[in-house]
């Protein structure tokens, strides 16, 4: 079983500072949640191979997801991440945990 967006909404979106505490996003209409927009790529990256530690996952996620983000420059600097405004960066640990749990359940 692969992590579903509904799992993330229940466990992550309810805690998101951009949400209402019920799992509903309060981002402006012209702004998309980076976590939702890149969800399949994030799940695929985490599920592709178990990592020995959190930093390995983060490096993989930054290489696969952040490199295509419009907020990151060619040198790997991201103004949203630097301002703690990136939902991906804030919630990677929870998403990694959800995906790993789903992988364990499927084993």
Predicted confidence at residue 1, as pLDDT, reads 47
Spell out, as residue ranges, where the chain has pLDDT lower than 50: 1
Residue 80's CB: how many other CB atoms inside 10 A? 17
Look-up: residue for tokens 């959800």? 98
Angle 87-106/54-64 helices, nearest 10 degrees?
Answer: 110
For the entire predicted model, the pTM comes to 0.82
Would you state the pLDDT for residue 3?
Answer: 67
pLDDT of residue 22: 82
**pLDDT at residue 41, rounded to an integer:** 92
Q: HSE (CB half, 13 Å, CA atoms) of 74?
A: 0
pLDDT at 23: 78
Q: CB within 8 A of 9, min separation 6: which ones? A: 23
78: helix, strand or coil: strand
The per-residue pLDDT for 53 is 92
């Amino acid at each position: 079983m692969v992590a579903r967006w509904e799992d993330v909404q229940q466990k992550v979106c309810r805690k998101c500072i951009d949400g209402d505490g019920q799992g509903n996003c309060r981002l402006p209409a012209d702004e998309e949640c980076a976590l939702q927009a890149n969800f399949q790529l994030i799940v695929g990256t985490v599920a592709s191979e178990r990592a020995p530690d959190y930093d390995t996952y983060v490096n993989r996620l930054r290489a696969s997801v952040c490199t295509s983000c419009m907020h990151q420059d060619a040198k790997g600097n991201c103004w949203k991440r630097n301002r703690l405004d990136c939902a991906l960066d804030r919630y990677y640990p929870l998403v990694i945990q959800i995906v790993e749990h789903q992988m364990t359940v499927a084993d």
